Structure 1
């Protein structure tokens, strides 16, 4: 794959459904989602609102509901990879509602392919774009109305990596480390965050799967997508 037409847009800039969308939320929605799958979750339902998350939980008592910010009645967990990695989610369904990541994914739910991404699944995401030979890709930079540099850096890295497999991540990770979100989380400004969340969010290629969101019975559902070996990158 030698070329890919890319756009980098904030959620407010989305005026029509793209063909292929990569929704990026590094700190923390789609780092948390990846950890949920690593801890055994079967799928993640991306909720439109806190009320919808609680309603889904009420109808499915065994589902695990998580949200941004501090703990709240009815929710089982908060949007922290450090906290989530201690949970056993084997076979469970997680309901996730965050202020940026889930909003971005729902904004492009009509796209033919929706990937949710962060640094921990960057290479797998880039490889999926390569195998699909996606000519036009919209990267949704979810944080700070499209201005979050950790999300933009990750999006630009994935875009570059999809066309240039030798791209080095160092400069992109440096930008993420220096971002406002990283500083606020490290300093404890944001509620529901552990200090070690930043390091976990910047752990490059921690997991070997991409994350694909599709509409299932009107719900936006995220599932892990394992990638074939590097020697077998035929279109899927």
Structure 2
């Protein structure tokens, strides 16, 4: 995600490089609207690189498929935000997840192929392709967006918890995105971080609730304190339930 509009030029150069390297497609024409952030510097760069620029008529969204696609993506993002109840600070992650899902959603204009399936179908027909790609996207790894996720801690995966058996083994987080069919992006509210992980278990019946007390990662001394408080409470209950003669 771009932090500001001035990063647009850098983003365009990156996506062109990706298309040419990964798909073998030579980009020659760039079509865009009259975005103010892409004017002089962009025109100079495009002329230097030899790209032909085609700009749409001002205030004419019908001529700008990218704008229509953006509207479609943000519609998905809005639904994900409502479902997950994530905070606004998670907006960039939500939009990235929306793009991931949109690329795996059939579209009428593609004869009900998914965008991922359509590009893979085209690549499979090219003489220079090195391997056949699946034209049907894998969906088995998709989970309810925003659901509770238990991601193993790094120390536990390294085996550092063997001598400290009361140390927490997992972060409590929430599914906020995908990087592949076996790598998930998990938001850990207590750490205010998003971690990439394969080792995660989901509970699709529980969603993020800002008002709920967060217990995502308790240190050993905190666990010990809770244990001591629990033991004290149980002793008090046990004392109250004893017969009077035994209490004396």
Please give the TM-score of this superposition, normalised by the length of structure 1. Answer: 0.24
Structure with a larger share of its residues in helix: 2
Please give the TM-score of this superposition, normalised by the length of structure 2. Answer: 0.24
